[in-house]
Amino acid sequence: MLNFDFHNPTHIAFGKDRIADLDKLVPPHAKVLILVGGASAEKTGTLAEVRTALGARQHATFSGIEPNPSYETSMKAVAQIREGGFDFLLAVGGGSVIDAVKFIAAAVRFEGGDPWAILEQHGRNVTGALPFGSVLTLPATGSEMNNGGVITHRAKGAKLAFGSKHTYPVFSVLDPTKTYTLPPQQLANGVVDAFVHTVEQYLTYPVDGAVQDRFAEGILQTLIEVGPRILAAPEPVYADRANLMWTATLALNGLIGAGVPQDWATHMIGHELTALHGIDHARTLAVVLPSLLDAQRATKAAKLLQYGERVWGIRTGTDDERIDATIAATRDFFERMGIPTRLSAYGVGADSVDKLVAQLEAHGMVTLGEHRDVTPAVSRRVLEAAL
């Protein structure tokens, strides 16, 4: 096991009817800015519930945080916070809104000039942030219980990640019934996003992280169990939604990645697919992962065999046959979730590969993966095999 630090101070309030707890979770005299994405939080009644729970506290709402949240929109929120003297932020939404609120909270307190510098330094220059909480409505990214975010600077055409010990949510309210209004595609994306987060921290090489491996496998098994059931259910089933919501949080709250190597090449290659072709984040992961696992089958062999055996019950055949079957089972799972795993299904052809590889190079993504051996040439092979 590798040395590690684990420190996650976010308070999770999980379950039915927990939004009412905002009254206890938000400081009593806070002046609260609620931040949301589009109109759905208003339409579903979640915003009304939030406002009721805030009681006599002064509050206002900032809306319009987009998927792949932008620096530009975030800075409008920063201006509103400064003008209005808000001292507590409340993200209501999914990973995009929470990511943006992390950046906004740090930007309000940032004293090093243009807050874009926070992204350029990946958060190392953050020395404080406004306190903030979240009400999660879309299980997927784990942003509700970690300190990371990804922000896009539209004018610069740059998408960068940051994190800081100051950007953990003080609390996150996780009410599984808030997922009941999500369309199937967003639920499927959430399952696959959480699945690939787990794989990025698990499918590397063995370092005797026995309990980390078991936890990662437990998350994958749970997603495999509840994912297709959620898609097939004519009406939402609370238990399945609860398991998806808590599992997606645990997939990226630092726990399963503590003390083990991490990969993240699939995410980095996937980001370019989103940037150039507008494909949903989770869908890019479903496309890239099977192909990447195949390309890296030699260095990942030991963990691929373990994953195949423990998660998919694949125990017979030569090592190569078992690895083939394991990658096929992974691809099949994504397809069963209604997510195509070939670039052709998204209208992306061989002619896009050059540009995608060039973008990886332009963004410095030239030594990816747990061994830093996913060079642009390897990324090219991965993309070509995913056509």
Binding flag, residue 33, its own copies (CB under 8 A): no
In 10 A of CB 307, how many CB atoms?
25
Span from 110-118, 127-135, 210-218, 332-340 in contact with its own copies (CB under 8 A): 210-218
Q: How far is the CB of 195 from its own copies (least distance, A)?
A: 13
State the minimum distance, in angstroms, from the CB of residue 248 to its own copies. Answer: 10
Nearer of residues 154 and 165 to its own copies, judged by Cβ: 165
Q: What letter would DSSP give residue 176?
A: G
What tokens appear for 68 in the block? 């792949």
Should residue 201 be labelled a site residue for its own copies when binding is judged by CB under 8 A?
A: no
Alpha helices (H) in 69-159, listed in sequence order: 71-84, 95-108, 116-120
Q: Applying CB under 8 A, which part among 11-19, 59-67, 89-97, 128-136 lies near its own copies? A: 11-19
Burial readout 280-298 (b: 16 or more C-beta within 10 A, e: otherwise): bbbbbbbbbbbbbbbbbbe
CB 294 within 8 A of CB 384: no
Query: From CA 69, how far away is CA 37, in angstroms rounded?
Result: 9
Q: Cβ distance 47 to 34 under 8 Å?
A: yes
Show the site string, 128-167: x = touches its own copies by CB under 8 A, - = not.
----------------------------------------
Provide the minimum distance between the beta carbon of 6 and its own copies in the complex, in angstroms, as a whole number. 4
Nearer to its own copies, 236 or 259 (CB): 259
Does 302 participate in binding its own copies (rule CB under 8 A)?
no
Interface with its own copies includes 214 (CB under 8 A)?
yes
Q: Residue holding tokens 């994504």?
A: 334
| Binds its own copies by CB under 8 A, chosen from 67, 128, 131, 259 | 259
| Shortest reach from residue 243's CB to its own copies, in Å | 4
Would you say 116 and 69 are in contact if contact means Cβ atoms under 8 Å apart?
no
Look at residue 149 and give its three-state secondary structure. strand
Residue 9 binds its own copies, judged by CB under 8 A = yes
Nearer to its own copies, 6 or 180 (CB): 6
Distance CA 91, CA 100 (A): 9
Judge contact between 50 and 22, C-beta under 8 A: yes
Determine which residue in the list 8, 52, 262, 367 makes contact with its own copies, applying CB under 8 A: 8
Which one of 239, 276, 350, 377 is in contact with its own copies (CB under 8 A)?
Answer: 239
Provide the minimum distance between the beta carbon of 67 and its own copies in the complex, in angstroms, as a whole number.
Answer: 27
Interface with its own copies, residue 16, by CB under 8 A: yes
Q: Is 222 in the site for its own copies (CB under 8 A)?
A: yes
In the structure encoding, which two tokens stand for residue 171, read together? 């609390």
Q: Are 117 and 63 in contact (CB under 8 A)?
A: no
Single out the residue of 72, 208, 320, 332 in contact with its own copies (rule: CB under 8 A). 208
Quote the tokens at residue 324.
Answer: 């083939």
Q: How many chain residues are in contact with its own copies, going by CB under 8 A?
A: 42
Distance separating alpha carbons of residues 233 and 185, to the nearest angstrom: 14
With beta carbons less than 8 A apart as the criterion, state whether 174 and 93 touch: no
Nearer Cβ to its own copies (118/245)? 245
Residues of this chain that bind its own copies (CB under 8 A): 1-18, 171, 176, 208-211, 214-215, 217-219, 221-222, 225-226, 239, 242-243, 246-247, 250, 255, 258-259
